[in-house]
Structure 1
Amino acid sequence: MRLLTGAWTTQALSTFAQLRLPDAMDGDRTVGVEELAREVGARPRNLTILLRYLAMLGAVTEGRDGFRLTETGALLRDGAPASMRALALMYGGPFYDSFARLGHTVRTGQVAFEHLFGENHFDHFARDPHLAELFDRSMAAGAAMFDPVPAHPALTAAAEAPAGATVVDVAGGNGELLGRILAAHPRLQGTLLERPHAVEAARARLDEAGLGARCAFLAGDFADLPAGGDVYVLSRVLHDWDDERCREILRHCARAMPDHADLLVVERVLPSDGSMSLATAWDLHMMCNVGGRERHAEHYARLFADAGLTLVDSSPLPLDGHVLHVRKADPTRQ
């Protein structure tokens, strides 16, 4: 029964975030249901039932005088550090609707999101500024995966180069990862390539962090990848696409990369032993909603080889992520 009612959990957390209850409960205090109901525009009895369910999930605790926000529930506050509010709204909104068509995807191979909305999720979100912003913010919910990346040896070596170096973040979203890299290595310069609306969001984010002056912002597609960078970053990009599109993206990278350059690919990698992993869950999500997939390390290695690249090593990251260190293949071995 707990497994079968997982959808109730998704919707309860999404509604918690949508009503901005975590913001109304902010602070180390117990809040009465009547007060909360007035603040968020809800019926007290119905709100009580929702909050009691959320108490079972550990998002709130119930006391004699009302409810108190927990550390877990505080992750759904708007604008909080490591906020997951946008992700809750995505999983309880358009992705929730399309997951109801998972059976269609399994039977036919057609992406459920495209079957429901008539277009892929990138185009669908790009046409709706609110959804586009929500999606970009939801991507930051997994930013803990990036914590160790700035210390990667390839970035450390680039930062120590006498003439300085440039990191090119390919489809870098809102600049979360590039910002971390530039903050950790003051001598590095950055270039971020993204869709036009995302470029402006990244520019605003990096300007606010005082890093914008060290970064160039390019609006375009993978074919517009600038040449001559020292380290290229593909973070959570390849899992969006099928193998043929991945080979195309990687060939663009290989053409742009000088012989000395490094490519860092950040992805969740499927476990080879079938152990529990977020990558296995995301594999289902990508199939249903995006049309992409998660892959084993060996699968990525074959894709790299097809593009004239070679996998050097792999390092684990939080949230079951990995950073795959890739370089151009040695032509003397071909």
Structure 2
Amino acid sequence: MDSERGVGVEELARAVGARPRNLATLLRYLAMLGAVTEGRDGFRLTESGALLRAGAPGSMRALALMYGGPFYESFAGLVHTVRTGQVAFDHLFGENHFDHFARDPQLAELFDQSMAAGSAMFDPVPAHPALTAAAEAPGGATVVDVAGGNGELLGRILAAHPSLNGVLLERPHAVEAARRRLEETGLGTRCAFVAGDFADMPAGGDVYVLSRILHDWDDERCREILRHCARAMPDHADLLVVERVLPCDGSVSLATAWDLHMMCNVGGRERHAAHYGRLFADAGLALVGRSPLPLDGNVLHVRKARSASA
């Protein structure tokens, strides 16, 4: 199915190996959701539905496969999580989210692609004042992307600021994917790649980035990660934490939905700004600014607390 011509139910059913009557029921539902539209020549994708195609600009296919696959199965265990506190993903799959994906290269790649599919949140990040200031520093500066996935965000930062160099820290199976991605875009020569865990935090960077990392973990693990950052950061360095922040007034926010998702699938959580502030303080850091991002995201600007750097 595409957005150029309509396709009849019988033809679609043959193509996907489905029963025509049952497929027609599904297509009517998808039409109601706005993913397809029906005309005289059959069904065709809408502008929104086209985002489910591989290779389409802004494709959400990987995200849909992830949430319609492992995460969908995990949400079947939501009641178990609410009643027992045990992570539903662990309960259903017998191991945690990260270990399960790391053992399956195809699933690991799909997860990285799904994370990149939500990259609209990153659009304003390269223009953050901390990165602009680093780019203007004499002699250049280095950005350390901690657990930077496939390099989507770091690539955007390096492309926006030719004077910056990058370091990407990731698990061994993921760091090679990031290396390939950044080399394909011509940015690999300006980036070093470190295979390791948070304890292997590269020291001496000018700007550190933690993008959608802290919400994966409980408070104690977050403090540990932030302490690794604080030890690696020179006194002048900035830390940019990209997360969704829970609203204090109960207003509608994607952060509230993701809070449920993180609880069910990884045992993490979204947090209020004040909660993050306490975690930063426990690690000898201080929240000095906050700026909004698309999709209810935020950049939390963090520096070493004065007492910690004195």
TM range (shorter): over 0.9
- Which residue does the alignment assign to 2:306? 330
Residue 54 of structure 1: how far off its partner (Å): 0.4
Aligned partners of 1:234 and 1:264: how far apart in 2?
Answer: 6
The 3-state SS of whatever aligns with 1:71 is: coil
CA shift in 2, pair 1:134/1:271, >3 Å: same
The 3-state SS of whatever aligns with 1:226 is: coil
Equivalent residues in 2 for 1:18-167, closer than 5 Å: 25-167=1-143
Which amino acid counterpart does residue 287 of structure 1 have in structure 2?
M
TM-score, normalised on structure 1?
0.91
- Which residue does the alignment assign to 2:149? 173
The 3-state SS of whatever aligns with 1:217 is: strand
The 3-state SS of whatever aligns with 1:47 is: helix
Aligned partners of 2:295 and 2:221: how far apart in 1?
Answer: 26
Bigger Cα displacement from structure 2, 144-153 vs 208-217: 208-217
CA contact (8 A) 1:166 1:229 kept: yes
Equivalent residue for 1:225, pick from 201, 207, 224? 201
Provide, for residues 243-279 of structure 1, a one-character-per-residue CA deviation record: whole Å limited to 9, x for no partner. Answer: 0000000000000000000000000000011100000
Aligned partners of 1:81 and 1:197: how far apart in 2?
Answer: 26
Equivalent residues in 2 for 1:251-262, closer than 5 Å: 251-262=227-238
Equivalent residues in 2 for 1:284-323, closer than 5 Å: 284-323=260-299
Which amino acid counterpart does residue 72 of structure 1 have in structure 2?
S
Which amino acid counterpart does residue 200 of structure 1 have in structure 2?
E
Divergent runs of 4+, >6 A: none
CA contact (8 A) 2:285 2:308 kept: no
Residue 197 of structure 1: how far off its partner (Å): 1.2
- Which residue does the alignment assign to 1:209? 185
State the Cα RMSD in Å: 1.3
CA contact (8 A) 2:27 2:36 kept: yes
CA contact (8 A) 1:194 1:221 kept: yes
The 3-state SS of whatever aligns with 2:118 is: helix
Percent of paired sites with the same residue: 87
The 3-state SS of whatever aligns with 2:239 is: strand
Residue 332 of structure 1: how far off its partner (Å): 7.8
The 3-state SS of whatever aligns with 1:186 is: coil
Aligned partners of 2:15 and 2:138: how far apart in 1?
Answer: 58
Provide, for residues 120-146 of structure 1, a one-character-per-residue CA deviation record: whole Å limited to 9, x for no partner. Answer: 100011111111111111111210000
CA contact (8 A) 1:183 1:211 kept: yes
Residue 160 of structure 1: how far off its partner (Å): 0.5
- Which residue does the alignment assign to 1:4? none
Residue 109 of structure 1: how far off its partner (Å): 0.7
Provide, for residues 130-179 of structure 1, a one-character-per-residue CA deviation record: whole Å limited to 9, x for no partner. Answer: 11111111111210000000000000000001110000000000100000
Aligned partners of 1:34 and 1:174: how far apart in 2?
Answer: 40
- Which residue does the alignment assign to 1:283? 259
Aligned partners of 1:236 and 1:218: how far apart in 2?
Answer: 19
Instruction: Return 5+ residue gaps in structure 1 as ranges.
Output: 1-24
Provide, for residues 14-63 of structure 1, a one-character-per-residue CA deviation record: whole Å limited to 9, x for no partner. Answer: xxxxxxxxxxx234222222332333333332222211110000000001
CA contact (8 A) 1:82 1:140 kept: no
- Which residue does the alignment assign to 1:6? none
